[in-house]
C-alpha cells in the first residue's frame, strides 16, 4: 500500500514532524513514524513543550528527580526535560542522519524566545545548548529577526547546525541565505571544512493566508492563495541563489544548500484543504515540518507531485494583484514576525509558569502523608473502593508489567500478541486506530465543509448503508443523539431483511436522501446490495444525477472508490487502510455520519484525544484502557468470562458496538469473553458466578433501578466496574478506552484481537447456497426434525438428541434442546427478522424467559448484523453456547439490481449459512422457521420457553 508521506522522497522533499513529547519517545511512536512514514526529522518550539508538560504527567518522574537533586528554578527544569527529549529524539533519528550522510535526521531545539532581539545572548545560548545536547544531528533554532542575523552567521561559522526560524518575507529570506553563505565563506577562509554544516531556513506559510485573508473583501478570489504564492516565489529565489557562482565555489569545497523548510503548514481555515500547505509545496531540496493532524491527513489523502516549480509566474502575478488590492505584504510580514516572536515568548513564559506550578505540586505531594515512593511509581496503586467513579475490583499482583504492555502497544509491536509472521502481518496493518484521536481533527475541516454542502443541498435524511464495523458506531450515535434541528435525520441500514429495507425506504424519501455507502473492502455483500437497490431508486428520479445522492467511505484503491468516481458520487472519503472495521469508530466510518447528524465533532474528538493521551501512560493507575483491560483479562482467567453491561438508558445502544468489539476480537482459538448487553435486570443472587459487571452511566442518569442493582451487586461481593461519563459526548473517549482495553485483553490471553477467521466461514456457506440457488432455482434448507403449528425446527448434529421423539407441541423439543445447557454456558438468540423494532417486545420476553428458566446469560442480535459481530465468538470461541437461529419462511421480497438473488433469498441464505457454520463447528444449535407473519409464532415460542424446566 503506497504511503504519500514516503512518496515525498521521490520529489526531493523530506517530511519532518512538528511535534515532540516524552510520551512519543517512550511509546515508540517516533520510531514507528520513522520506519513506516519516512519521518526524516523533528522540530520543537516552546508551544509544543508547554502543551506536553502541562497536558500530562509524563514528565513528573524527571521533575521529581530534578527536585530531589535541588534543581527547582523553572528555566533549569525546562532544560532538564527539553535536553533529554532532544537527545532521545536525535538518537532515534541517528540512522536517518547516517544513511542520508547528514542531509536529514535532525532535531531542532530553540534558543529562548526572550532573546529574539539580542544577538550576543542568542549566540551564547546557542553554543551552550549545542554543547549540552552533544549530538551531531542537532539543529539550534535561531529567529530570523534582523538583530539576530549576525548570531545566525556566527553560529554557523563556528560549526553549529542552525534552523533559522520565523521567516515570513522574501527580503528577510534573502538576508538569511546571505548569512548562510557568509558563514561558509568565513569557514573556507579559515581552512575549516564545510561538509558537516547543515542548515534550513524555516519559511512560515499558513499564517500568511490568515493575515492576508482578513484584509480582503468577502468572496475575493485572492483569498487562500497568498501563502503558497509567497512560498513559491521564495523557492524560486532559493534556486537562483544556490545556482549562483558564489555558491558554486562553496559547493566545490563540500558545502550543502540551505534547504527551505516550510513551517506553519497546518491549515487554519476549515474552508481550505487540510493538506493545502503540503500538496502545494512539494519540490527538490525542501523540507516540510508537518504538525501531527496534517501529517495524518496527508498520509490518508495527500497527493505527492512536484508542485513548487509549477505556476511561479502566476504566483508573482498574484502577489502583484494583492498589492493592487491594497495589501501591503511588507507590512503583513513585519506584523507576523512581531506576532510570532511574541507568541513564542508568551508560550515560553507560560511554560515556565506551568513548570513552577507543577514543581510546587510535586513538592507538596512528596510531603503528603500518603505519598507513594518514587520507586513505586511504575506499579499500580490498589484499586479504589468499588463504589467510587471508575472503580475497578482489587487486582491480583502477579501479571505482565503494565509499562511494557503500554510501550509495545504504542510502538505497534505485533509481538505483543503473536510471534507467527502470518499473524504479525495482519496486526501490523491493523493498528491505525491508535492514531485516530490525533489524526481525525486534521480531517474535521474536510468533513464539516462536506456537511455544510449537504445541508445547503437540502437533504432531509442520510442513510448509512453498511454492515458490522462500518455501521455499528453510526447506529450507536443515531440512537444516542437523535435528530438535531437543521441537520439530516440519520438512519442506518444493516439488515438484508426486505421488510427492513422497505421500512428505510418509506421513512427516508429517496428524492431527499443522501446515501452513505460504507465499506472498508468496497465489496462487502450487504452494502453493495443496498447501494444497488437505492441507486436504482434514485436513478428513476434523478437520472444521470443520481450520484449526487451518494457518498462513499472506503479504503484507498478499492472497487468502491473507482465505482464512486465512475458514478460521480458527491464525495468519497478515503479512510485509513490500517484500521479494521470494528476499530474504526473514530475514523471516517464513524465521524462522517456523526458530523452529518450535527454532533459536535470538535468536542467529541477532543475527549477521545484526552483519553488517548491518558492511555499512553505507563502508570497503570493513570491509564484507563490498560487498567480496564488487565482487570477484565484477570477476571476471565479466573472463570468470570461473561461481561454484563449495565448502562444509562440514553447510552444503552453503546452495547451494540461493545459486543462486536469484544466478541469479534477475543472470541477465537477456543477462548473468548462473552459480552452481554441489554439483558433484563435480575436480583444479585440470580446471577451466575461466571459474570463480571460493567456499569457505564452518565452524570445525573435517572435510571435508579440500574443504580440500585449495582449497589446490590457490590454488596453481594460481585465484581463491578464503574465508569462515569459527563454526558453522551464522552462516548468519544469510551470508544478509545475500550479499543485499548480489548487490545490488552488479547495480549493477556494470547489472542490476536485484529483478525476474524471464523466470520468468513458463514460467508462461504452463504456463497455456496446462493450458487446453488442460481443453478437450481431453490435454496437448500436444513433437514426438519420437528414441524407443527406453522413452525419447524432443525437441530445441528451436536444437538441431535433434542430431535428424539414425536410430539405436536413445540415445548418438548425446545425443552430437550435447552436441557443441553451446562454450567457456565450462555444462549445466543439470533434473529433474521425485521430489525426496525416491530418484534423487540416479544423477543425481549423470549430472552427474559430463557434467563428465568435456564439461569444463564442470553446474548441476542439481529442477523445478518451479528454475523459481523458476535458471530466470530459463536464459531471460534469456547464451546459454551447454545444457539437459536430464527428465520422467516417467506414473506415480502424486493429485487437487488445486478445481483443474482433477491433480498429475501439473501437473508435466508445468510441464516441457513450461519446455522451450517455453527453445525460445522460442532455447536449446539437449532434452526427455527417461523411463518412470514411471525408475531404469533414468536409469542408461541416465548411461552414455550417459559414452560421449560429450569436447569439446576
DSSP E strand boundaries for 546-613: 550-554, 571-574
Interhelix angle for 472-481 vs 588-596, to 10°?
30
pLDDT reported for residue 367: 58
pTM of the model: 0.67
For the ranges 285-299, 556-570, 589-603, the one whose mean pLDDT is highest: 589-603
**Lateral strand order in the sheet of 786-788:** 786-788, 791-795, 924-931, 881-889, 826-832, 857-862
Proportion of the chain above pLDDT 70, given as a percent: 94
CA dihedral 807, 811, 817, 819 (to 10 degrees): -120
For the ranges 398-407, 461-470, 760-769, 941-950, the one whose mean pLDDT is highest: 461-470
How far apart CA 508 and CA 503 sit, in angstroms, is 9
Q: Average pLDDT, stretch 856-864?
A: 91
Proportion of the chain above pLDDT 90, given as a percent: 70
pLDDT, tens digit, for every residue of 615-656? 999 888 899 999 999 999 999 999 999 999 999 989 999 999
The β-bridge relationship of strands 826-832 and 791-795 is unpaired
pLDDT reported for residue 486: 94
pLDDT above 50 for 825:
yes
Q: Which residue has the higher pLDDT, 504 or 849?
A: 504
Q: Average pLDDT, stretch 799-828?
A: 87
The β-bridge relationship of strands 41-42 and 106-110 is parallel
Q: Average pLDDT, stretch 11-40?
A: 90
Mention every residue, 6+ apart, whose C-beta is less than 8 A from residue 477.
490, 590, 593, 594, 597, 599, 731
Q: Is 628 helix (H, G, I), strand (E, B) or coil?
A: helix
Predicted confidence band at 705 (pLDDT cuts at 50, 70, 90)? low
Asked if 456 and 640 count as a contact pair (C-beta separation under 8 A), the reply is no
Mention every residue, 6+ apart, whose C-beta is less than 8 A from residue 30.
17, 24, 39, 42, 89, 92
Largest CA distance in the chain: 108
Predicted confidence band at 361 (pLDDT cuts at 50, 70, 90)? confident
CA dihedral 711, 716, 717, 720 (to 10 degrees): -30
Least confident window among 141-145, 421-425, 488-492, 914-918: 421-425
pLDDT reported for residue 805: 66
DSSP E strand boundaries for 533-626: 550-554, 571-574
At 865, list the grid cell.
Answer: 448484523
pLDDT above 50 for 386:
no
Per annotation, catalytic residue among 40, 141, 616, 691 = 141
At 665, list the grid cell.
Answer: 476480537
pLDDT, tens digit, for every residue of 545-562? 999 999 999 988 788 988
pLDDT above 90 for 702:
no
**Lateral strand order in the sheet of 550-554:** 489-493, 461-465, 513-518, 550-554, 571-574
| DSSP assigned state of 8 | G
Q: Average pLDDT, stretch 736-743?
A: 98
Q: Average pLDDT, stretch 511-537?
A: 95
How far apart CA 940 and CA 564 sit, in angstroms, is 47
Mention every residue, 6+ apart, whose C-beta is less than 8 A from residue 447.
573, 588, 591, 592, 595, 601
pLDDT reported for residue 306: 96
Predicted confidence band at 477 (pLDDT cuts at 50, 70, 90)? very high
pLDDT, tens digit, for every residue of 54-90? 656 778 888 889 998 999 999 999 999 999 999 999 9
pLDDT, tens digit, for every residue of 724-739? 999 999 999 999 999 9
How far apart CA 872 and CA 24 sit, in angstroms, is 34
Predicted confidence band at 1 (pLDDT cuts at 50, 70, 90)? low
How far apart CA 147 and CA 122 sit, in angstroms, is 10
pLDDT, tens digit, for every residue of 90-128? 999 999 999 999 999 999 999 999 999 999 999 999 999
Give φ, ψ of 235 to 5 degrees: -65, -40
Concerning whether 691 is annotated as a catalytic residue, the answer is no
Amino acid at each position: 500500500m503506497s504511503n504519500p508521506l514516503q512518496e515525498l522522497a521521490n520529489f526531493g522533499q523530506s517530511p519532518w514532524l512538528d511535534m515532540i513529547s516524552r510520551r512519543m519517545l517512550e511509546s515508540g511512536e517516533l520510531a514507528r513514524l520513522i520506519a513506516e512514514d519516512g519521518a526524516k526529522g523533528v522540530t520543537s518550539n516552546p508551544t509544543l513543550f508547554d502543551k506536553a508538560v502541562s497536558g500530562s504527567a509524563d514528565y513528573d518522574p524527571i521533575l521529581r528527580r530534578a527536585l530531589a537533586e535541588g534543581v527547582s528554578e523553572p528555566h533549569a527544569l525546562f532544560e532538564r526535560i527539553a535536553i533529554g527529549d532532544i537527545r532521545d529524539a536525535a538518537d532515534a533519528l541517528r540512522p536517518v542522519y547516517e544513511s542520508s550522510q547528514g542531509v536529514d535526521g535532525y532535531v531542532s531545539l530553540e534558543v529562548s524566545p526572550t532573546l529574539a532581539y539580542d544577538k550576543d545572548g542568542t549566540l551564547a545560548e546557542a553554543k551552550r545548548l549545542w554543547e549540552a545536547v552533544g549530538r551531531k544531528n542537532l539543529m539550534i533554532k535561531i529567529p530570523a529577526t534582523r538583530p539576530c542575523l549576525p548570531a545566525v552567521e556566527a553560529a554557523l561559522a563556528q560549526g553549529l547546525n542552525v534552523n533559522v526560524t520565523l521567516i515570513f518575507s522574501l527580503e528577510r529570506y534573502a538576508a538569511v541565505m546571505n548569512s548562510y553563505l557568509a558563514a561558509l565563506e568565513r569557514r573556507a577562509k579559515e581552512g575549516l571544512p564545510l561538509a558537516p554544516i547543515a542548515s534550513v531556513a524555516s519559511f512560515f506559510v499558513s499564517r500568511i493566508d490568515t493575515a492576508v485573508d482578513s484584509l480582503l473583501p468577502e468572496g475575493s478570489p485572492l483569498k487562500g492563495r497568498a501563502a503558497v504564492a509567497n512560498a513559491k516565489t521564495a523557492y524560486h529565489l532559493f534556486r537562483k541563489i544556490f545556482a549562483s557562482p558564489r555558491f558554486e565555489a562553496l559547493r566545490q569545497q563540500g558545502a550543502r544548500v540551505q534547504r527551505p523548510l516550510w513551517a506553519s503548514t497546518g491549515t487554519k481555515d476549515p474552508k481550505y484543504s487540510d493538506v493545502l500547505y503540503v500538496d502545494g509545496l512539494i519540490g527538490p531540496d525542501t523540507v516540510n515540518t508537518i504538525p501531527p493532524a496534517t501529517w495524518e491527513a496527508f498520509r490518508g489523502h495527500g497527493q505527492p507531485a512536484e508542485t513548487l516549480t509549477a505556476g511561479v509566474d502566476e504566483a508573482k502575478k498574484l502577489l502583484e494583484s494583492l498589492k493592487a488590492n491594497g495589501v501591503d505584504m511588507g507590512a503583513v510580514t513585519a506584523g507576523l514576525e512581531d506576532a510570532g516572536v511574541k507568541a513564542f515568548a508568551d508560550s515560553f513564559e507560560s511554560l515556565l509558569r506551568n513548570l513552577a506550578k507543577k514543581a510546587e505540586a510535586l513538592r507538596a505531594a512528596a510531603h503528603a502523608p500518603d505519598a507513594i515512593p518514587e520507586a513505586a511509581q511504575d506499579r499500580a496503586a490498589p484499586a479504589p473502593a468499588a463504589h467510587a467513579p471508575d472503580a475497578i475490583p482489587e487486582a491480583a499482583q502477579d501479571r505482565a508489567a503494565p509499562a511494557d504492555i503500554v510501550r509495545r502497544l504504542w510502538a505497534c509491536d505485533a509481538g505483543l500478541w503473536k510471534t507467527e509472521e502470518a499473524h504479525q502481518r495482519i496486526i501490523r496493518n491493523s493498528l491505525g486506530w491508535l492514531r485516530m484521536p490525533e489524526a481525525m481533527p486534521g480531517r474535521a475541516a474536510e468533513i464539516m465543509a462536506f456537511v455544510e454542502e449537504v445541508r445547503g443541498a437540502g437533504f432531509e435524511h442520510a442513510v448509512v448503508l453498511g454492515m458490522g464495523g462500518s455501521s455499528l458506531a453510526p447506529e450507536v450515535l443515531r440512537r444516542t443523539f437523535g435528530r438535531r434541528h437543521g441537520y439530516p435525520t440519520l438512519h442506518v441500514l444493516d439488515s438484508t431483511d426486505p421488510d427492513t429495507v422497505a421500512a428505510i425506504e418509506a421513512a427516508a424519501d429517496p428524492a431527499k436522501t443522501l446515501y452513505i455507502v460504507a465499506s472498508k473492502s468496497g465489496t462487502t455483500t450487504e452494502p453493495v446490495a443496498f447501494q444497488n437497490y437505492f441507486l436504482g431508486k434514485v436513478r428513476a428520479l434523478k437520472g444521470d444525477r443520481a450520484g449526487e445522492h451518494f457518498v462513499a467511505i472506503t479504503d484507498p484503491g478499492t472497487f468502491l472508490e473507482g465505482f464512486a468516481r465512475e458514478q460521480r458520487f458527491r464525495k468519497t472519503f478515503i479512510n485509513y487502510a490500517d484500521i479494521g472495521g470494528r476499530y474504526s469508530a473514530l475514523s471516517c466510518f464513524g465521524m462522517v455520519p456523526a458530523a452529518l447528524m450535527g454532533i459536535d465533532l470538535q468536542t467529541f474528538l477532543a475527549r477521545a484525544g484526552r483519553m488517548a493521551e491518558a492511555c499512553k501512560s505507563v502508570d497503570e493507575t493513570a491509564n484507563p484502557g490498560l487498567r480496564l483491560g488487565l482487570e477484565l483479562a484477570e477476571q476471565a482467567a479466573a472463570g468470570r468470562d461473561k461481561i454484563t453491561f449495565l448502562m444509562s438508558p440514553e447510552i444503552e445502544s453503546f452495547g451494540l458496538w461493545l459486543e462486536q468489539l469484544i466478541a469479534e476480537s477475543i472470541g477465537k482459538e477456543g477462548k473468548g469473553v462473552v459480552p452481554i448487553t441489554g439483558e433484563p435486570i435480575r436480583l444479585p443472587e440470580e446471577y451466575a458466578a461466571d459474570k463480571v459487571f460493567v456499569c457505564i452511566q452518565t452524570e445525573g442518569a435517572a435510571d435508579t433501578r440500574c443504580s440500585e442493582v449495582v449497589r446490590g451487586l457490590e454488596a453481594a461481593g460481585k465484581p463491578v466496574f464503574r465508569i462515569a461519563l459527563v454526558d453522551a459526548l464522552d462516548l468519544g473517549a469510551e470508544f478509545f478506552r475500550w479499543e485499548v482495553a480489548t487490545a490488552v485483553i488479547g495480549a493477556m490471553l494470547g489472542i490476536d484481537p485484529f483478525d476474524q477467521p471464523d466470520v468468513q466461514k458463514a460467508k462461504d456457506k452463504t456463497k455456496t447456497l446462493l450458487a446453488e440457488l442460481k443453478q437450481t432455482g431453490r435454496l437448500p434448507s436444513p433437514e426438519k426434525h420437528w414441524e407443527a403449528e406453522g413452525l419447524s425446527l432443525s437441530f445441528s448434529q451436536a444437538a441431535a438428541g433434542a430431535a428424539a421423539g414425536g410430539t405436536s407441541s413445540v415445548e418438548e423439543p425446545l425443552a430437550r434442546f435447552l436441557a443441553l445447557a451446562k454450567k457456565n454456558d450462555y444462549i445466543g438468540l439470533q434473529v433474521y427478522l425485521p430489525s426496525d423494532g416491530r418484534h423487540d417486545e416479544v423477543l425481549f420476553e423470549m430472552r427474559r424467559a430463557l434467563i428465568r428458566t435456564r439461569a444463564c446469560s442470553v446474548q441476542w442480535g439481529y442477523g445478518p448484523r451479528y454475523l459481523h459481530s458476535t458471530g466470530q465468538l459463536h464459531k471460534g470461541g469456547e464451546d459454551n453456547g447454545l444457539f437459536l437461529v430464527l428465520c422467516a419462511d417467506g414473506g415480502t421480497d424486493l429485487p437487488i439490481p445486478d445481483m443474482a438473488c433477491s433480498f429475501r433469498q439473501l437473508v435466508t441464505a445468510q441464516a441457513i449459512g450461519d446455522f451450517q457454520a455453527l453445525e460445522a463447528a460442532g455447536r449446539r444449535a437449532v434452526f427455527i422457521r417461523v411463518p412470514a407473519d411471525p408475531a404469533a409464532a414468536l409469542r408461541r415460542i416465548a411461552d414455550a420457553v417459559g414452560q421449560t424446566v429450569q436447569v439446576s
